Structure 1
């Protein structure tokens, strides 16, 4: 298992059903797709087993680009892809980022371009929408291409989703804030991208905690686009009119921007969700050293999730059979092992030593780890 954050995951998550059928008997491409007929993909459980012919070439549509989290995700993906190329298991890979971040129509067209590409036979999608890509994904599957969803959830039938449980992720963070504030106070919420499946799931987790803590109130909300600069601007605009703040709800790659806006305004929250990265941890240490009335938590959302999805996809394309007990429907929930507070702050600082300011604690499967998902 790739060890960027902890010695992760040989342990796997979640329950349940199914898996993989096969797409035709002989494996001849004429059995999978032609200009006149669709591939008869057989579903066992909730996932298609599509074993492409020939050398494996991956097309990766990252959905968005330009944020530190997304750039790190793409770098992680490239690292594993280059490893597989060196091992002779992958012939090549192609990465196409959206021109307009978060746009589902543009991403559907990228998927269709990969479907039309005779070289690409595996498509990995960091989905910008939970349903809008379904038709394009179905077309790729009908053409005999293996499609795996990474990071954000997508309802496309037969496609394996490799993702965090984003609802549980946010719920754990928000529960920390509720405890730190004794269940009462005024919050501002700087969310990611409105409408993004991960953002929607995280909002669900937040709402569950708010329902359990009726004296906690979100007084202002704004989108920070999972970007430090945008988040700082959004937070500063709120603070220009809203001074009475007890806590900040935010997500990965935005907390340092929010904290900077607070310090510029002379307003320090008592508790906030932090970034698992260098810049935030350095500022957090400064506040602790000063004895500030300030608490934070940091739970990684590993950019390496796409690299983990790549490992799973290549092994599936090679014909290995997923272990049904490791899946929940067509979802594999990657389990993050770490959660940082003041109590284990020093452990994170050791892992961040020598990293750039925008680096985020990271992890993904190594080859031994991914084999635990297969029979």
Structure 2
């Protein structure tokens, strides 16, 4: 079996937030045969699996209303050339619109321009692209990372030794967040970076990397990390018999449960997480189906819509948020997305 490229069948996923409801007026896709092409790059993480599944849930709702007919999902892995070929195949097959979670901000410009020549709209979601033809839908990755670094500076009162673990080297989101981290830390001369590197947004890899870092670094006051790596880092400290530092992490149930366990044990831990909702795919799907049905998007600054992240996790609301996801699997990330009314407000 080829584990670098795969198709996903339709699946349902219960998510935190307001369920999609309502319709898009009287427009129907029955005669248009609307096909949505979704090209995902990097995969194999729980976040990406939840993103694809929740996008499919949103699509099925529109299909039931007669607003779309078919969803084609292609997963390229970390190979940008493979993703370019996936998009090229969608253009050849004349899909109605392409949704793209890109491996590269710039390297897909050529194939996006091919879609433009074929008059196929492109929505780059989760990761923004530089091609001016594409509509970007995602969180503001730089601002998201800035919140993390600023929280650490605040917790340290502007002075301390910090380790930084990023996701995938060169990935647009990882680059934006890393830039934000270092912009904030460099403005605070009392903050010293004792190590920085990558954990590939993977819990096991992050744990192994941090174990090596701890063996060579006798003191760390704080760890700045995100998306799927926090629990691995936490376990590395625990395995080394060292108290948890001030640290950021992910709004994922498994991380929140481990956090809760530390507090219940009476440990003085200071952790922070922001939602990076996999359901950005749901929001992007709502935009895509409306465009495919002929609706006109209101002008956007730099052709980009930044989803306003609402959920932040601290010691104060940890119990409340855990209670809200008590029936979800441990790999579940806290989800949020635009309602149908909010989506409608983006259009003329």
TM superposition score normalised by structure 2:
0.89
Q: In the alignment, is residue 109 of structure 1 matched against residue 109 of structure 2?
A: no
CA distance in 1, matches of 2:113, 2:124: 13
Deviations 1:280-305, CA, capped at 9 Å, x for gaps: 11111121122323200110100011
1:268, distance to aligned residue in structure 2 (A): 2.4
The equivalent position to 1:318 in structure 2, one of 293, 300, 308, is 293
Deviations 1:9-68, CA, capped at 9 Å, x for gaps: 9xxxxxxxxxxxxxxxxxxxxxxxxxxxxxxxxxxxxxxxxxxx9321011111121100
1:341, distance to aligned residue in structure 2 (A): 0.8
CA distance in 2, matches of 1:216, 1:183: 6
Give secondary structure in 2 for the equivalent of 1:363: coil
Q: How does 1:11-30 map to 2 (within 5 A)?
A: none
The equivalent position to 1:353 in structure 2, one of 317, 320, 326, is 326
Equivalent position of 2:253 in the other structure: 278
Deviations 1:154-213, CA, capped at 9 Å, x for gaps: 011221000110111011111111111111111111111110111111112111210221
Q: How does 1:34-183 map to 2 (within 5 A)?
A: 54-98=32-76, 101-118=77-94, 120-183=95-158
Change (3 A) 1:110 1:310: same
Q: In the alignment, is residue 269 of structure 1 matched against residue 269 of structure 2?
A: no
CA distance in 2, matches of 1:307, 1:6: 12
Q: Do 2:231 and 2:255's aligned partners in 1 also have CA atoms closer than 8 Å?
A: yes
Q: In the alignment, is residue 236 of structure 1 matched against residue 214 of structure 2?
A: no
Gaps of 5+ in 1: 10-52
CA distance in 2, matches of 1:323, 1:251: 32
Equivalent position of 1:39 in the other structure: none
CA distance in 1, matches of 2:211, 2:34: 48
Gaps of 5+ in 2: 1-12, 21-30
Q: Do 1:351 and 1:361's aligned partners in 2 also have CA atoms closer than 8 Å?
A: no
CA distance in 1, matches of 2:191, 2:14: 37
Equivalent position of 1:328 in the other structure: 301
Q: Do 1:190 and 1:234's aligned partners in 2 also have CA atoms closer than 8 Å?
A: no
1:263, distance to aligned residue in structure 2 (A): 0.6
1:362, distance to aligned residue in structure 2 (A): 0.7
Equivalent position of 1:47 in the other structure: none
Change (3 A) 1:334 1:3: farther
CA distance in 1, matches of 2:244, 2:79: 34
Change (3 A) 1:3 1:215: farther
1:365, distance to aligned residue in structure 2 (A): 2.2
1:5, distance to aligned residue in structure 2 (A): 4.2
Equivalent position of 1:338 in the other structure: 311
Alignment RMSD: 2.0
1:8, distance to aligned residue in structure 2 (A): 10
Equivalent position of 1:291 in the other structure: 266
CA distance in 1, matches of 2:38, 2:243: 41
Equivalent position of 1:217 in the other structure: 192
Q: Do 1:243 and 1:267's aligned partners in 2 also have CA atoms closer than 8 Å?
A: no
Equivalent position of 1:365 in the other structure: 338
CA distance in 1, matches of 2:260, 2:183: 31
Deviations 1:92-111, CA, capped at 9 Å, x for gaps: 0111111xx32222211111
